[in-house]
Amino acid sequence: MAAAGFTGNHRDRRPFTFWLARQGYAIATIDYRLLPQYGWPTQRYDVLGAIKFLQTHATELGIDPDRIVLLGRSAGGQLAEATAYGAHRPGICGVIAIYGPTDFRTSWHDATGNNDRLNGWTWQELLEKFLGGTPETAPAAYDSASGLVLAGPASPPTLLIHGRLDTLVPVSQSELLAAKLTAAGRPNTLVSVPWASHAFDTINFDGPGAQITTYSIAWFLAAVTR
């Protein structure tokens, strides 16, 4: 579920990480605190702490503190958007979100009547655990975690990649965000993959979904970091 996740660590997706490194980019893969023990906004604090560390030690690490791009998949995509759009931290020059949820109010209401369970919780129960209540009882948390709410005239350039057959996080989530960024006059691109479902690019790194993803990311990074 795209709500901070239950599992995962910085060693995931190594083929993709190694590919990025071979393109000449410095990569920092980070861990952040997960459900069920930790809810929002601890995940954002973890990302901001990592950014602060990288910028503070930029010289010794050999990186440019003013050319940082946040990239994430699913829950990580949501976290990248909410951190970049909400924190307004100098040095973040781009956001890449791959099939990430952008509007948790809509996600909660769309889950009404859905009794599918993850780790014993329905989708609504999971969102309530993550955000500390319902959209009515915890509105500030829902808004501060939603890239769609936070996006505006100061948002960094954004690349969105989403499968049109995604049943976990509907492609409409990325479409709405792209429309809002465009209305705010912010550079953005939505790559909508017609035959793809959730996590389409992780199944086979040499497959067509991953090739579309890597091509799009390479193009975007070259544009925002030059």
Domains located in the chain, CATH noted: 14-225 (3.40.50.1820)
Please state the rounded mean pLDDT for residues 169-182. Answer: 98
Please state the rounded mean pLDDT for residues 172-184. Answer: 98
Q: What is the pLDDT of residue 13?
A: 64
Q: What is the pLDDT of residue 83?
A: 98
- Prior bond to 101 cis, omega within 30? no
- Do 85 and 105 form a contact (C-beta atoms < 8 A)? no
Q: What is the pLDDT of residue 9?
A: 54
At 2, is the pLDDT very low, low, confident or very high (cuts 50, 70, 90)? Answer: very low
Task: Give the whole-angstrom CA distance, residue 198 versus residue 207.
Answer: 15
Query: Which residue shows structure tokens 């793809």?
Result: 196
Q: What is the pLDDT of residue 203?
A: 84
Which DSSP state fits 156?
Answer: P
**What is the separation of C-alpha 89 from the centre of its chain, rounded to a whole number of angstroms?**
16
Check whether 3 has a pLDDT greater than 70: no
Query: Which residue shows structure tokens 């861990």?
Result: 31
Window from 75-84, 114-123, 179-188 with minimum mean pLDDT: 114-123
